[in-house]
Amino acid sequence: MKLLPLGDKVVLKHVAAEETTKSGIILTGAPKEKPQQAEVVAVGPGGMVDGKEVKMEVKAGDMVIYSKYAGTEVKLDEEEYIVVKQSDIVAIVEK
């Protein structure tokens, strides 16, 4: 199955949180929050949303940072995704 977002929605997939710091320290069993960094899996067409023209600024494959409490979590084919509005994405991570 495939998720196809509507309007200004974007489907994201969480990236695995790093278990070690840059200096090599291994982070152990401390309670972990879900990462706010994710990979864009699918992007809606944009268009008119609430009477305003929305141009989609992200594309599939982009790494993004999104708002902490944004979106709807969805489980499909044993994979977990989060569906957010484009306005809930705060930055694109460039490498």
pLDDT in tens, 62-87: 999 999 889 999 999 999 999 999 99
CB atoms within 10 A of CB 20: 9
Count the neighbouring beta carbons within 10 Å of the beta carbon of residue 12: 24
Which residue type, as a one-letter code, is found at position 3?
L
> In the numeric block, which tokens belong to residue 93?
């991570």
Distances (CA, A) of 57 to 3, 18, 30, 52, 53: 19, 27, 36, 15, 12
Label residue 2 by pLDDT band (50, 70, 90).
confident
Residue 93: which of 36, 44, 52 has the closest Cα?
Answer: 36
